[in-house]
Amino acid sequence: MSNKVDKELAELLEMTFRQAQMQFGGAVRSRWMHDGDGCPGCGSKINFTKYKKKNCLSLNAFIYREHGVLIAYLLCSKCANQVIGAKSELPLHGEIEKTLKAAFVKHLGH
């Protein structure tokens, strides 16, 4: 990603973290942006997706409650389109969380 995109993502992560802290209080003590190679849903390269005829990145987040951390991540266009169009939780959501929880625990070990 470019420096401009990286800066915008950092700003959005900070905003999302502050919002989560206001909503969930002490349950959210820190934040972490997954920057691993590939989409946590399928392993494909992270790429732009079209939303309202514009190129967008799919920035998502969830709270890993056991660690009190807001984990943010990007999805590839294929997974992003599945998540955006979902009416309920998909098996993909579980796979993403499993992948990211493991990556976060590995990150803690470094």
Instruction: Indicate the burial class of 90 (C-beta count within 10 angstroms; 0-12, 13-18, 19 or more).
Output: middle
Provide the pLDDT for residue 1.
61
Provide the pLDDT for residue 52.
87
- State how many domains the chain has: 1
Across-strand partners of 51? Answer: 54
Q: What is the pLDDT of residues 57-103, one digit of tens each?
A: 999 999 999 999 999 999 999 999 999 888 888 999 999 999 999 99
- Amino acid at site 46: I
- Amino acid at site 3: N
To the nearest whole number, what is the mean pLDDT of the chain?
92
Instruction: For residue 23, give every residue at least 6 positions away whose Cβ sits within 8 Å of its Cβ, in sequence order, or none.
Output: none
Q: Tell me the percentage of the chain whose pLDDT exceeds 90.
A: 75
Provide the pLDDT for residue 3.
84
Q: Which of 72, 57, 101 has the alpha carbon at shortest distance from 13?
A: 72
**By residue range, what is the domain housing residue 21?**
3-108
